[in-house]
Amino acid sequence: MSDISQTGFCTECRKTTACRLQTEPVTRYIHGAEHTFSLTTARCEICGADMNPTGLLDVNIREIDEQYRAAEHILTIGDIQTLMDLYSLGKAPLSLAMGFGEVTISRYLDGQIPSREYSDRMRKALSSPAFMKSLLMENKDRLTPAAWRKGMQAAQELEQFSTLSPAIRSVILRLFSHLDEITPLMLQKLLYYIQSLSLTLHNEPAFPETCQAWVHGPVFPSVYRLFRSFTYDPIDDARFSIFRQTPDPLTENVCRVVDLVSASFGLYSGKVLEAVTHGEDPWKKARSGLPDDMHSSREISRQEMKAWFDKAGQQYSLCSCEGLNQYIQDLSFCLFHPATR
């Protein structure tokens, strides 16, 4: 609504007046079918008549477009742009790869609404690199060799995401919806604490992936391989769009744990969380007898994770942010000030 002028010419008052913006149900006909949209309207503050201030028409067009696409399960323009980014293909190459006419994607980016059939095809390509590979193979002769190679390479890289369970993909996506910046190191530790607290608070794992005791703390190898290219930088990855296209399998209990970890452990850097895990028995027992700098693929036992936090739960309220923050502060203080133990 901020794009809309707060004043305009009232045809009833015959002068410029202030207008009141509000949202009302409005019926429109699209392709012969009746649709009701929730649209921004403007009324004169003096007489209450309908007004058309500057910017209102553009806002209404966006509202209708967004609501119609949502109601009909049609991809948005942003989704189509993401599809181009995912597979490193321009407008014309993507059109040809999808089996469309050469200018189809350009028209969609200009605002033309795709048919349900074409929208479903693009949506499936967003969520399934294997499907995109099949389209690229089917339409190989329509593409230049360079475009085809770029698309295939991107699809093959994206297929790595299928190595993750739907549960851990949804956990990662939920973490990124709560936190602005997450490095690969921080992500590994947050996943470790989500798994540990899910085992302790609800007696069930949040996801099936196993955790290993690496030099820098607990690590889920399949997740590490996906994001290692970010090294120490915050993860900023267009590939998350694949996560968004798949059903969310998380239970309410797991969602609560993810939210709890985000609001507590998520306040600390990856290095602080690494240090905290080094003070906990599950990681230390898994690395027992190993030199500090030796790589190891030893698994951190879920039983050890649960046992450690069951014991911690006798001193701290593990189901509250306050209790978890106190746990982190106490453990990190002991690690950095060993003489006070």
pLDDT at residue 300, rounded to an integer:
97
pLDDT at residue 336, rounded to an integer:
60
Q: Domain 7-72 carries which CATH code?
A: 3.10.20
Rounded to whole angstroms, the Cα distance separating 201 from 257 reads 8
Query: Sign (positive/negative) of CA torsion 20, 21, 22, 26?
Result: positive
Distance of CA 14 to CAs 21, 45, 78, 307, Å?
19, 13, 41, 76
Of the candidates 166, 308, 315, 186, the residue with the CA atom closest to the CA atom of residue 245: 166
Of the candidates 14, 2, 69, the residue with the CA atom closest to the CA atom of residue 40: 2
Pairing of strands 15-30, 33-44: antiparallel
Rounded to whole angstroms, the Cα distance separating 223 from 142 reads 36
pLDDT at residue 161, rounded to an integer:
76
Tokens of 254: 């797991």
pLDDT at residue 340, rounded to an integer:
46
Q: What's the helix, strand, coil split of the chain in %, to 5? A: 55, 10, 30
pLDDT at residue 249, rounded to an integer:
83
- For residue 337, the tally of other CB atoms under 10 A from its CB is 9
Tokens 């593409």 sit on residue: 143
Rounded average pLDDT per 10-residue block, the chain, 341 residues: 84 94 90 89 95 93 89 89 90 96 95 91 89 96 96 87 85 91 95 98 96 97 89 78 69 96 95 94 95 93 97 95 94 62 43
Of the candidates 109, 110, 105, the residue with the CA atom closest to the CA atom of residue 121: 105
pLDDT at residue 242, rounded to an integer:
65
Rounded to whole angstroms, the Cα distance separating 208 from 12 reads 66
pLDDT at residue 341, rounded to an integer:
43
pLDDT at residue 70, rounded to an integer:
87
pLDDT at residue 156, rounded to an integer:
87
- Residues 32-36: contacts with CB under 8 Å, at least 24 apart: 35/67, 35/68, 35/71
Rounded to whole angstroms, the Cα distance separating 199 from 212 reads 17
Tokens of 46: 């003096």
Distance of CA 186 to CAs 109, 292, 302, Å?
37, 20, 20
> What is the DSSP-derived secondary structure letter of residue 298?
P
| Domain residue limits, the chain | 7-72, 77-159, 164-340
